[in-house]
Chains A and B, each alone.
Chain A
C-alpha cells in the first residue's frame, strides 16, 4: 500500500473525472460523484500521516519509475514533512469545494466537476513530484482548470470581466513559467538529470557556473513568487477572487507557490536564496502592511478577502526567508491554516453573494439575525484569521514573528506585528457591517439564506480543525520540523542555522506542552 498510495491519490480524482464525463448529466449526479470521489481521495491522503514515520527527514512513500529515457524524466513521487500536510490539505479542500459549489453550479455541472477533480490531481502532483520535469508538468496543468472554470462559471455569468480575469490569471502565471522552463532545461543540460536530490547535490557541490546559476535561481523565484503572490506580483489576485467560482478561488492562491518557494528555491539554492532573502523580507513586510491597509478600505468583500490574503501570505513569505527553523515552521503551518480559514471564509462569502447577488459590504447588515449559524461560524473563522490565541492563525503568526524577532531583526518583527493589529481592524469592521446592526433593505429584496446542513457540517468541521491546530500545534509541526532540519542540513553546510532559530523552535515546543 505504501508504495502505491501516492499514485492512488493522483488517480482517484482522475478516475472520478472520467466517470463524471462518461455518465449522463442527470440532476445532482455529477456533484454526488465528485463529493464521494473527493471524500475517497481525502481518506487516501489520511493514509499518509497515519503511516508517516515521524522524526526523520527524507522522503517516504517513494515511487520511482523511469518515464522517458531520453531526456531522462522519471515518474518520481515522494512525501516528506514539508509536503505531508499540504497533500492532506488538498484532500480536505476538495470536498469543501464541492459543497461550496453545490447550489451555484447548475447547468454543465459535468464539465465543472470533471475539471475540478482534474485540478485536484494537478495540485497533489505538484506537492509530491520529486522529478522537476514532472513537477513542472503538474504545475502548468494546475493552471488550466482554474482558467477554464473561471471563464465558464465566472460569478458574474456571461460577463467579459470573467474572461479578463481568467486571461490575466493565466498570463501572470504562465509567462514567468517560461523562464522557469528555460532554467530547468539549463540545469538538465549541465547535470543530465531532472531528479530533485541529484540536482540538490549538484548545486550544493558548486560545480555549476555560478553566474548563470544565479539567473536560474531568479527564474525559479519569480515563477513561484507570482503564484503566491508576493507583493508587486499580486495583480491577478483581486480579479480572480472576484470572478472565479468559489471552489476555484479558494485554491488559487497560497500553498502551491509557498511550498515551491521552500522546496525549490530555499532548499534547492540555499546560498542564492540567502542573497535574495533581504529583498524577500522587505517585500513580505511591506506586503503585510499594504495588504492590510487596502483591506481596511475595501467596499467589496471579495476584494477585502484578496487583500487580507495578500497580507497573511506575506507572513508566510516572511517566515520562509527569515531562514529560521521556527519561522519556516510557522510559515508552513500558516500555509495550511490559510488554506483552511480561506476555504471557510470563501464558502460563507459564496453563500452571502448568492443570496444577494452582490458583494458590496454596504448592501448587507444584520445578517446575524437572519442566519445565526452562518454568523457564528463566520466570526470563528475571522478570529482565526486575525490570530486569536487558541485558534490556528495565532500559532502560525506567532512562530513567524518569533523567528523574525530572534533571527532577523527586531524592527521588522515589530512592523510585521502591526499587520496583526490591522487584520483585527478590517475583519471586525466587516463583521460589524455585514452581520450586526439592523437588517437593511436590499435593493433586490433577496433575503440572506442560512447555511444548509451540508454547508454547516463542512464549515463546522473546518472550525473544529482551526481549534485543533490552535490547541495542539505540535502534532502538526512535529512532522514538519525534521524535514525542515534536513533541508537545512544540505543547504547550510557552511552557514549553520542560527542559534536564535533553535530557541524559537524550542519556544514552540514549550508552548505546545503548556497547553
Chain B
C-alpha cells in the first residue's frame, strides 16, 4: 500500500521549493543578487523531476479518496512538464535583466511563480476528480497570468497580463460551469464514476451542455480556434522567457486534460466529439497558418503558428483505439522541445529589451552568431516538420493516426497546411541566414551563460533525439495511452 503522500510527491516538493524561494527572497538583503534563487528553483524542479520518475516505478493507483491517480499517463506528463519548467527557469536566470537593472523587480517571486505554476500543471495531469482538476488549472493559470504581465511598466506587458487574465478566467469559468452541470447530471465529480453513470444520466441536454462548456474552457487553454484570439497579444507582450514557458507547459497540461475529459469522462460521446475535434483541428490549423503568414513580428508569428500546432495535435483525435493518446503525448513532447528552443534563442539573440523583434531584425544572425543562428535554424526546421527532427515525427504520428482512423482528408488538409506553414517558418529562417544588411552596425556578441546554454542544449538534443531515435519516448507515450480503460472499447 503506497502512502497517499507519495502520489503527490512531485507537487509537494515543488510547493515546498516555491515557498522556500519566496522566504529566501524576503530575507535577503535588498541589494544582493537574486540569481541564486533561480538556481534554487531549478534544483527544486530537478528534485520534482526525479520524484516523478520514481513515481513511474510505483504501480498505478489512486490516492486521497480517489481524487489523484498516478500511472504511466501522469508520469509521462509530469516528466515533460518538469523538464519544460526546468529549461524555462535556466533560461530566465541568464536572460532576465542583470542585477541592479531598474527593469529587474520581484525576481524572487518570478521564480517562485514558475515553480507554483508547475505545481498546478503537474497536478492537472494526475487529478481524476473534476474539482481538483479545476483547482490545479487555477493554480497553473494564475501564476501564468502574473508572469505574462511581468513587464508591467510597459503598455504591452500590462495589456498581455490583463488580456490573459480576463479571457482566461472567463474560460475557466466555463469549465467550472461544465463541472457543475456534470455534477447535476450524475451526482458525482469523480472521473471514473461519471463515465459509468453517464449512460444513466437524468438529462441528455445537461450532459451535452456540460460537455460543450468544458470543451470551451480547455480549448481556450490550448489556444485552439475559435478560442485563440488572446494568443498573439499575450505572447507579444510577455517577456520571451515567459513565452517559452507559457507556450508549452500549460498547453501540455491542458492537452493532458483534454485527453482526460474525452477518454476519461466522455468516452460515451465519442461519435459526437470526434467530428467536433476534426473541425476544430481543421479550423485551428488553417486560421493559425493563414494569420501567421501575414505577421512581421517574430513572436506574433510564432503565436499564430502555435495555434496551428494545436490543430495538428487535435487531428490525432480522429484516430482509433489508444493511438491518438500516444500521438498527442509524443506531439506535446516534440512541440515543447522545439518551441522552448526557438523562444530561448529569441530571448538570447533578441534580448530582453527585444532590440530584435520583427523577422527582418533577425537578418544576419547566422553570420554574426553562427552557433545561435544555426540552432535557430534547427528549431525552425523542426517546426516546419523536416525529417530527422522531432517536429517531423510528431506530425507523422498525428496524421498517421488520423489516417488509420479513416480520416484521410484530415491528413491531407493538415499536411497541405504544413506546406503553408513552411512558408513563414522559412521566411524567418532565411532572414536569419541572409547576410546582414549593408550598413548595419556590428553588434557586440554577449557571453552566453551556463544556464541558458544548458536550456538550449537540452531542447536541441531533445529535438534531435525525438527525430532520430524516438523509440523510447514513443514507448512511454504508448504506455501512457494504456492508462485509459475506455480506449479498449473503441
The answer to whether A175 touches B429 (Cβ under 8 A) is no
Known: A70-B478, A136-B387, A141-B386. A174 touches B419 (CB 8 A): yes
Closest B residue by C-beta to A185: B403
CA distance A171 to B415 in the complex (A): 13
Closest B residue by C-beta to A107: B367
The answer to whether A186 touches B416 (Cβ under 8 A) is no
The answer to whether A182 touches B415 (Cβ under 8 A) is yes
B408 sits at the interface (CB 8 A): yes
Tell me the B392-443 residues at the A interface (CB within 8 Å). 392, 396-397, 399-400, 403-404, 408, 411-412, 415-416, 418-419, 422-423, 426-427, 429-431, 433-435, 437-438
B226 sits at the interface (CB 8 A): no
CA distance A68 to B404 in the complex (A): 18
The answer to whether B423 touches A182 (Cβ under 8 A) is no
Which residues of the partner chain A approach B399 to less than 8 Å between Cβ atoms?
181-182, 185
Known: A137-B387, A151-B433, A178-B416. A188 touches B478 (CB 8 A): no
The answer to whether B386 touches A143 (Cβ under 8 A) is yes
The answer to whether A178 touches B403 (Cβ under 8 A) is no
Q: Closest Cβ of chain A: how far from B404's Cβ, in Å?
A: 5
A1 sits at the interface (CB 8 A): no
The answer to whether A148 touches B429 (Cβ under 8 A) is yes
CA distance A181 to B408 in the complex (A): 11
Q: Could you give, for residues 178-193 of chain A, a 1 whenever the CB lies within 8 Å of some chain B CB and a 0 otherwise?
A: 1101100110110000
A157 sits at the interface (CB 8 A): yes
Which residues of the partner chain B approach A40 to less than 8 Å between Cβ atoms?
none
- Please tell me which one of the listed residues A157, A167, A174, A185 contacts residue B427 in the complex, with CB atoms under 8 A apart: A167
The answer to whether B367 touches A151 (Cβ under 8 A) is no
The answer to whether B366 touches A152 (Cβ under 8 A) is yes
Which residues of the partner chain A approach B418 to less than 8 Å between Cβ atoms?
178
The answer to whether B423 touches A171 (Cβ under 8 A) is yes
Known: A110-B370, A170-B426. A152 touches B435 (CB 8 A): yes
Known: A147-B430, A163-B434. A69 touches B415 (CB 8 A): no
CA distance A136 to B435 in the complex (A): 31
Q: Closest Cβ of chain A: how far from B386's Cβ, in Å?
A: 5
A166 sits at the interface (CB 8 A): yes
Q: For chain A, give the interface size range.
A: 35 or more
A144 sits at the interface (CB 8 A): yes
Which residues of the partner chain A approach B387 to less than 8 Å between Cβ atoms?
136-138, 140-141
Among B384, B396, B433, B471, the most chain A Cβ lie within 10 Å of the Cβ of B433
CA distance A110 to B388 in the complex (A): 22
The answer to whether A175 touches B435 (Cβ under 8 A) is no
A108 sits at the interface (CB 8 A): yes
CA distance A70 to B401 in the complex (A): 12
- Please tell me which one of the listed residues B396, B422, B431 contacts residue A174 in the complex, with CB atoms under 8 A apart: B422
The answer to whether B388 touches A141 (Cβ under 8 A) is yes
A27 sits at the interface (CB 8 A): no
Which residues of the partner chain A approach B396 to less than 8 Å between Cβ atoms?
71, 181, 185
B381 sits at the interface (CB 8 A): yes
Q: Closest Cβ of chain A: how far from B342's Cβ, in Å?
A: 16
Which residues of the partner chain B approach A174 to less than 8 Å between Cβ atoms?
384, 419, 422
- Please tell me which one of the listed residues A69, A110, A138, A175 contacts residue B419 in the complex, with CB atoms under 8 A apart: A175
Q: Closest Cβ of chain A: how far from B412's Cβ, in Å?
A: 5
Which residues of the partner chain B approach A152 to less than 8 Å between Cβ atoms?
366, 433-435
Which residues of the partner chain B approach A212 to less than 8 Å between Cβ atoms?
408
The answer to whether A186 touches B430 (Cβ under 8 A) is no
A111 sits at the interface (CB 8 A): yes
Q: Could you give, for residues 439-479 of chain B, a 1 whenever the CB lies within 8 Å of some chain A CB and a 0 otherwise?
A: 00000000000000000000000000000001100100010
Which residues of the partner chain B approach A188 to less than 8 Å between Cβ atoms?
400, 403
A158 sits at the interface (CB 8 A): yes
- Please tell me which one of the listed residues A70, A144, A170, A178 contacts residue B415 in the complex, with CB atoms under 8 A apart: A178
Tell me the A31-80 residues at the B interface (CB within 8 Å). 68-71
B56 sits at the interface (CB 8 A): no
CA distance A167 to B420 in the complex (A): 12
Closest B residue by C-beta to A219: B412
Q: Could you give, for residues 194-230 of chain A, a 1 whenever the CB lies within 8 Å of some chain B CB and a 0 otherwise?
A: 0000000000000000001000000000000000000
- Please tell me which one of the listed residues B366, B370, B411, B431 contacts residue A182 in the complex, with CB atoms under 8 A apart: B411
Closest A residue by C-beta to B384: A174
Which residues of the partner chain A approach B408 to less than 8 Å between Cβ atoms?
182, 186, 212
Which residues of the partner chain B approach A182 to less than 8 Å between Cβ atoms?
399, 403, 408, 411-412, 415
Which residues of the partner chain B approach A111 to less than 8 Å between Cβ atoms?
366, 370, 374
Known: A108-B367, A185-B399, A186-B403. A140 touches B386 (CB 8 A): yes
Which residues of the partner chain A approach B254 to less than 8 Å between Cβ atoms?
none
Q: Closest Cβ of chain A: how far from B99's Cβ, in Å?
A: 34
Closest A residue by C-beta to B422: A174
Known: A167-B423, A170-B426. A148 touches B415 (CB 8 A): no
CA distance A152 to B397 in the complex (A): 33
Q: Closest Cβ of chain A: how far from B312's Cβ, in Å?
A: 12
Q: Closest Cβ of chain B: how far from A209's Cβ, in Å?
A: 11
B119 sits at the interface (CB 8 A): no
The answer to whether A158 touches B386 (Cβ under 8 A) is no
Known: A70-B474, A158-B435, A166-B430. A179 touches B423 (CB 8 A): no
Which residues of the partner chain A approach B191 to less than 8 Å between Cβ atoms?
none
The answer to whether B435 touches A68 (Cβ under 8 A) is no
Which residues of the partner chain B approach A143 to less than 8 Å between Cβ atoms?
386
Q: Could you give, for residues 78-118 of chain B, a 1 whenever the CB lies within 8 Å of some chain A CB and a 0 otherwise?
A: 00000000000000000000000000000000000000000
Q: Closest Cβ of chain B: how far from A183's Cβ, in Å?
A: 9
The answer to whether A151 touches B386 (Cβ under 8 A) is no
Which residues of the partner chain A approach B470 to less than 8 Å between Cβ atoms?
68
- Please tell me which one of the listed residues B370, B404, B426 contacts residue A108 in the complex, with CB atoms under 8 A apart: B370
The answer to whether A157 touches B430 (Cβ under 8 A) is no
Q: Closest Cβ of chain B: how far from A20's Cβ, in Å?
A: 12
The answer to whether B437 touches A158 (Cβ under 8 A) is yes
Q: Closest Cβ of chain B: how far from A248's Cβ, in Å?
A: 13
Q: Closest Cβ of chain A: how far from B214's Cβ, in Å?
A: 32
Closest B residue by C-beta to A152: B433
B377 sits at the interface (CB 8 A): yes
Which residues of the partner chain B approach A138 to less than 8 Å between Cβ atoms?
387
- Please tell me which one of the listed residues A68, A136, A166 contacts residue B471 in the complex, with CB atoms under 8 A apart: A68
Q: Closest Cβ of chain A: how far from B197's Cβ, in Å?
A: 35
CA distance A178 to B418 in the complex (A): 8
Which residues of the partner chain B approach A171 to less than 8 Å between Cβ atoms?
419, 422-423, 426
- Please tell me which one of the listed residues B403, B426, B430 contacts residue A189 in the complex, with CB atoms under 8 A apart: B403
Which residues of the partner chain A approach B381 to less than 8 Å between Cβ atoms?
144
Which residues of the partner chain A approach B474 to less than 8 Å between Cβ atoms?
68, 70
Known: A108-B367, A158-B437, A186-B408. A175 touches B416 (CB 8 A): yes
Q: Closest Cβ of chain B: how far from A451's Cβ, in Å?
A: 28
The answer to whether B386 touches A144 (Cβ under 8 A) is yes
The answer to whether A147 touches B370 (Cβ under 8 A) is no
Which residues of the partner chain A approach B377 to less than 8 Å between Cβ atoms?
148
The answer to whether B400 touches A185 (Cβ under 8 A) is yes
Closest B residue by C-beta to A180: B415
- Please tell me which one of the listed residues A137, A148, A151, A170 contacts residue B388 in the complex, with CB atoms under 8 A apart: A137
Which residues of the partner chain A approach B416 to less than 8 Å between Cβ atoms?
175, 178-179
CA distance A444 to B16 in the complex (A): 73
Which residues of the partner chain A approach B426 to less than 8 Å between Cβ atoms?
147, 166-167, 170-171
Q: Closest Cβ of chain A: how far from B426's Cβ, in Å?
A: 6
Q: Could you give, for residues 116-147 of chain A, a 1 whenever the CB lies within 8 Å of some chain B CB and a 0 otherwise?
A: 00000000000000000000111011011001
Instruction: Give 20 A-B pairs besides A148-B430, A186-B408 with Cβ atoms closer than 8 angstroms.
Output: A137-B387, A137-B388, A141-B387, A143-B386, A144-B381, A147-B430, A148-B433, A151-B430, A162-B434, A167-B427, A171-B419, A178-B415, A179-B415, A179-B416, A181-B399, A182-B408, A182-B415, A185-B399, A185-B400, A189-B400
Interface pairs (19), CB distance under 8 Å = A68-B471, A110-B370, A111-B366, A137-B392, A148-B377, A157-B435, A163-B430, A163-B434, A167-B430, A170-B426, A171-B422, A175-B416, A178-B412, A178-B416, A181-B399, A186-B408, A189-B400, A189-B404, A212-B408
Q: Which 8 A-B pairs have the closest CB atoms?
A: A137-B387, A178-B415, A175-B419, A151-B430, A185-B403, A152-B433, A151-B433, A178-B419
